[in-house]
């Protein structure tokens, strides 16, 4: 497993799941063997990929309950070649379960997963709890999506305070790959002002090209498909392709496959 990438912002509604699903699909289409892990109890990654998760079926949140299963046993196939999913549990109560901040990191160190996947993407919840702490402790890199308005900017600042604590204690190697503006409308002055503020506070090179507003993203989610599959010529598909190319360059060449990606077609 070459790289663990967290997608996070302390503010809800900033497009974390949209970015997670569509970036995971882009990198899988580029030849990566990708595992998407949904830590947000809304379970929207499964919705966006058309994966049905029945009541009581195993999810990533079982890791945080007594007698946790192996993470490899929770992997589900998706319709996107090279992309697998570990879904979330909508009834898991934030703040419950194990208090081990390194639990997810240890689970991802499983040799079978290491051999099966080049990349893990973690879709994180906005709440400051053990799920977010586990994700940041396990991650090698971080992308921070934000809607260019001031409440989202405050969410970025709150996340940075958490990040600095994690870097100083549990995960000094964690790096910020970039801040990603989403739902961008270039004609709106506030969008330019907020993005300029992000660039001033954290460095202009860390601000990534944005994902423009596009109704095709919502439509694609409604059909259980990444936007590149649903509307490949849309603005959003173009923007996620550009984000995928950025991540490909940042992650480096794909390692030669040591084992096929885990698949269980009967559990789509």
30-63: pLDDT as tens digits: 999 999 999 999 999 999 999 999 888 999 999 9
Please check whether the domain covering 3-250 is classified as CATH 3.40.50.300: yes
Cβ-Cβ contacts under 8 Å for 94 (sequence gap 6 or more):
41, 125, 127, 129, 131
- Going by C-alpha positions, the residue among 172, 183, 175, 185 that lies closest to residue 206 is 175
- C-alpha dihedral sign at 153, 154, 159, 164: positive
Instruction: Enter the pTM of the model.
Output: 0.91
| Segment 188-239, tens digit of pLDDT | 888 888 899 899 889 999 999 999 999 999 999 999 999 999 999 999 999 9
Map out the domains of the chain as residue ranges.
3-250
The answer to whether residues 210 and 181 touch, using CB atoms and an 8 Å cutoff, is yes
Share of the chain above pLDDT 90, in %: 71
Q: Give start and end residues of each alpha helix (H) in 188-234.
A: 189-202, 215-222, 227-230
Distances in whole angstroms, Cα of residue 20 to Cα of each of 102, 164, 168, 256: 22, 23, 26, 24
DSSP-derived 3-state class of residue 200:
helix
């Amino acid at each position: 497993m070459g790289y663990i990438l967290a997608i996070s912002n302390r503010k809800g509604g900033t497009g974390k799941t949209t970015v997670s699903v569509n970036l995971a699909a882009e990198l899988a289409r580029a030849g990566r063997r990708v595992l998407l892990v949904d830590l947000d109890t809304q379970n929207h990654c499964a919705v966006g990929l058309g994966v049905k998760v029945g009541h009581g079926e195993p999810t990533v949140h079982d890791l945080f309950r007594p007698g946790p299963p192996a993470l490899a046993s929770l992997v589900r196939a998706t319709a996107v070649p090279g992309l697998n999913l570990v879904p979330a549990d909508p009834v898991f109560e934030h703040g419950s379960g194990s208090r081990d901040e390194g639990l997810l990191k240890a689970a991802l160190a499983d040799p079978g997963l290491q051999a099966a996947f080049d990349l893990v993407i973690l879709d994180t919840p906005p709440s400051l709890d053990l799920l977010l702490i586990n994700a940041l402790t396990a991650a090698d890199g971080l992308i921070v999506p934000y809607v260019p308005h001031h409440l989202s900017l405050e969410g970025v600042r709150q996340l940075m305070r958490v990040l600095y604590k994690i870097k100083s204690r549990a995960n000094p190697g964690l790096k910020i790959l970039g801040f990603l503006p989403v739902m961008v409308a270039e004609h709106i002055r506030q969008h330019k002002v907020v993005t300029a503020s992000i660039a001033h506070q954290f460095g202009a090179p860390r601000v990534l090209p944005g994902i423009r507003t596009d109704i095709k993203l919502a439509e694609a989610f409604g059909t259980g498909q990444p936007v590149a599959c649903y509307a490949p010529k849309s603005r959003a598909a173009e923007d996620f392709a550009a984000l995928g190319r950025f991540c490909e360059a940042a992650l480096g060449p794909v390692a030669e496959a040591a084992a096929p990606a885990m698949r269980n077609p009967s559990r789509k």
